[in-house]
Amino acid sequence: MSQPAIRATMNALPRAATRQCLRTMSTASNMAAKRPTTSCLPKSQTQTYQPLVQRRFKYKTVEEAKSRYRSGPFSWKAGMLFLMTGAGLLFYFETEKERMQRKRVAESTKGVGRPKVGGPFKLIDHDGNTVTDEDLKGRYSLVYFGFTHCPDICPEELDKMAIMFDQVEEKLPGVLAPVFVTCDPARDGPKELKEYLAEFHPKFIGLTGTYDEIKAMCKAYRVYFSTPTEVKPGQDYLVDHSIYFYLMDPEGDFVEALGRQHSPEQASKIIVDHMKEWKGPLKKTA
């Protein structure tokens, strides 16, 4: 404290200063009481030996003291502390709520008595290699059903899938397998799939098989499709099918379906959030 400031305080509150001294003398437990000879000298006012009382005189000027009186117990510091605590709690509860919601979504398909989506399958990929559900385990997979002769929705959705995949790869590389399963095995062989998917993303995995294998796959994923069983040579047709992205966890269990209502950004955020909460082992690929 500077000298003029002390003087101002003492002039303004002479009675309080006296009381201060008297109290010091009578308080045996106080640290300052051990040195009573100095405690009442005006010079010693600068020492901080009376925390309780001195708090009232921490103002350097009368104006400051007055303004403190006007504003009462509220100060901008208290206000800030209040707001920050409130914001912090709100943020915590909101994130926790979201986390619980995701957990519920992810676990709603685990265990007994839950709707089972997905399951074992054996198909061939766009290079002609056999792929089973075991090969996809250890990573999350994003499964989409479609066909190469699709007029409008599948190409749009596959472009979306490419954006989603890139965004997820950016945050958590090697944890997501993008899978395209054809609903039209009669026309979509490995060669056709390879050509078709290369235009969307080089990392897309195309799966095909016999009509019965694809039918079983679609049934396991609860996918509706309308491919004709018997196709005459040269006959053109369109396939009506479900248009969801199925997010499957590293154990091959269904997590969540992403649809047309999700933007690629929303969808990739949902996927990444689920991945971050995965506690089990992961088998990353380059």
Partner 1 sequence: MGWLSSSPDDQRSKEIRSGAVAPSRAERARCWEARDGYFACLDKNNITDAIKDEKAAGKACGEQSKVFEKDCAAQWVTYFKKWRVQDIQKRQRIKELEAQGANRLDVQTDFTPRS
Known binding positions: 150, 154, 241
According to the binding rule CB under 8 A, does residue 230 interact with partner 1? no
Tokens 């100060």, residue located: 75
Q: Detail the residues annotated as belonging to a binding site for Cu cation.
A: 150, 154, 241
Report the Cα 125 to chain-centroid distance in Å. Answer: 33
Nearer to partner 1, 179 or 197 (CB): 197
Which tokens in the block code for residue 265?
């950004």
Nearer to partner 1, 49 or 196 (CB): 196
Shortest Å, Cβ 249 to partner 1: 14
SS (H, E, C) 137-154: CCCEEEEEEECCCCCCHH
Choosing from 72, 202, 234, 281, the residue that interacts with partner 1 (CB under 8 A) is 234
According to the binding rule CB under 8 A, does residue 232 interact with partner 1? no
Reading phi first (left if > 0) and then psi (alpha if -120 to 50, else beta), residue 245 is in beta
Residue 78, burial from CB neighbour count under 10 angstroms (0-12, 13-18, 19+): exposed
Choosing from 72, 202, 236, 279, the residue that interacts with partner 1 (CB under 8 A) is 236
SS3 37: helix
According to the binding rule CB under 8 A, does residue 151 interact with partner 1? yes
CA distances (Å), 257 to each of 53, 142, 147, 186, 187, in order? Answer: 65, 9, 19, 27, 27
Number of H helices, E strands in the chain: 11, 7
According to the binding rule CB under 8 A, does residue 196 interact with partner 1? yes
Choosing from 259, 263, 277, 283, the residue that interacts with partner 1 (CB under 8 A) is 259
According to the binding rule CB under 8 A, does residue 261 interact with partner 1? yes
Total site size for partner 1, rule CB under 8 A: 26
Shortest Å, Cβ 234 to partner 1: 7
Q: Which residues contact partner 1 by CB under 8 A? A: 104-105, 108-109, 115, 148-149, 151-152, 155, 187-188, 192, 195-196, 199, 234-238, 256-259, 261
